[in-house]
Structures are given as C-alpha cells and as structure tokens.
Amino acid sequence: MNALRATERRNPRTASIDLASPLEIVDVINAEDSRVPEAVASQREQVARAIEIAERSFRAGGRLFYVGAGTSGRLGVLDASECPPTFGTDPEMVQGIIAGGLPALTRSQEGAEDVAENGAREMDARGVGEKDFVLGIAASGTTPYVHAALRRAAELGASTGIVSCSDPPGDVVAGLDIAILPIVGPEVVTGSTRLKAGTATKLVLNLITTGAMIRLGKTYGNLMVDLRATNNKLKDRSERIIIEVCGVSRHEARELLAAADASVKTAIVMQKLEVTRDQALAALDRANGVIRRAVPDAPPPVIE
C-alpha cells in the first residue's frame, strides 16, 4: 500500500543525490521545491472554499481545528499559534492538535499517529460542535489518528476537510466537506514529507487562515490592523500604521492608541470618523468588522 502513496514513491530525479556536491544538492532541492507552488495553485478553488467555511465558522462563534501527526501536526500548531500575534485573535479561535500532544512538538512520537481512538477523543475533549471547522492534515492521506478525528467531528456536526499530498481513501473523502490535495510528487529523500509536502502544507494553511482573517476585517488594505502589540517591535508597528493611515505625529498616534485600548483598528476609525471609542466599535460592528466599510477613506497608496 505504501508504494502507491505519492509521498512514498522514489524520485528518479534525485536517485544519485548521495554523490552530489553541496551546490548540486541545493540546485536539485530548489528544482523540486519549484514544483510546489503549481501544486498548491491547482487547489485554488478548494482552498477558497476552505476560507469560506472558516469565515462562516468564525462569524458564528466557532473555531478552526487543525489535526495532524508528525510534521503535519507541527505545521498546524505553528499556523494556529501565529494567529493571535498577527491578527489579535483569541488563542481558542484557531487550535492545532498534534498526535502525541505537546511532547510531539519537539520530539518525535511516531506511534501516536496509529492510535486512532485518541483522535476521536480529542474532538470530544475540545467540545467540537456544529459551529466548528475541523481540518485534518495528513501528507500521506492515510493517518489513522486524523481519520478518526474527522469521523468524530462529522458525527458532532462540525464541518470537516483534509489537506493531503497523496490521494486519501475514497471513503474518507466522501465524508468530508472539502479535500485540498496539492500532489507534489515524490520527495527528494523518499518518504521525507518535511520537504515538498511540508512546504505545500504550510502554503495551504497560510492561505486559509490569512484569507479568513482578511475576510473578517483583520486588515485595512494590506495593513495589519488587528495585531496584538505584545512587544516593542509590534508597538512600533502599531504606531507607524496609525501615522501612515491617519497622517498624525508619533505622539498623536500613541494618544489615539491609548484612547482605543491599544487597538489599531479602533484607533483608525476613531480618527477617521472623529468619534469616541464606543462609537467606533459600533461603526465597526455595523460594518462586520471591515474598516473599509466603516470609513469613507481608502488606505493610503503604496509608494514604491
């Protein structure tokens, strides 16, 4: 069975890589990696559908869960953990679940992916329900832990999908709302899905959460306006965004942020509409959180 998986086949283009020089290794791997964006682009409609499902879940008060094992699980946890600082989201909104739990993030727990019942138990433990979206990540398409989690999530009424770089079993796909399958072909090192499959997975997850967050109004144009200023770099970025968008001084930007309870988005609406924080929040609520629909001005043009 393993020989049939796209991720387990041998790559004829790298059969002699063990005799390659360092520069030749770089060139061969770069050439293989160049195939990844095309594979991801082939799934553009499916990814867009996943963005729609995620946005719908978030607007209903639901959550996005990534479920995976090994590299796939780590990539889900990574994407989930980057949403709060980037988009100011509650950590509960996007969650990464990895077979083997937290220890598997830093030390391989290879047998954990075969314990199917643990995947189902995680769905119960997290209180998964009809408002949620559970997205399984399985490079090979055959991970028992992920399959069990998806079956249980569907039983609980959640929307479900899978990201895989091989074709999953037909009965698994039949029970899902969406299947995203960027087939990148055999790896440089046979079966090492931390390579092309991992890169493709990272691109897909980036697309889904970034797309959903943009739809929720987490950006103004391409400016990050719902970031959480948890360090000096992000505080500086918040102030610079206010300066650029509102045409104010650094001092005025700091005063606006203080009055807006450190929310860049709220500060922009307050300044543009000349209203209080509460009035700005009400305006954003009417606009479904999208600044462009709450204020008359477009973002400042990009100066190249």
Which residues are tagged catalytic?
82, 113
DSSP state of 94: E
**CB of 68 closer than 8 Å to CB of 146:** yes
CA atoms within 13 A on the CB side of 219: 13
Work out the number of other CB atoms within 10 angstroms of the CB of residue 291: 27
Q: Which helix (H) or strand (E) holds 137?
A: strand 133-137
Tell me the C-alpha distance between 51 and 271, whole Å: 31
Please, are residues 243 and 250 in contact by the beta-carbon 8 Å criterion? yes
Token pair of 98, please?
């990895």
Q: 154 phi and psi, to 5 degrees?
A: -65, -40
Cα 102 to Cα 218: distance, rounded to the nearest angstrom:
29
Note the Cα 37 to chain centre separation in Å. Answer: 16
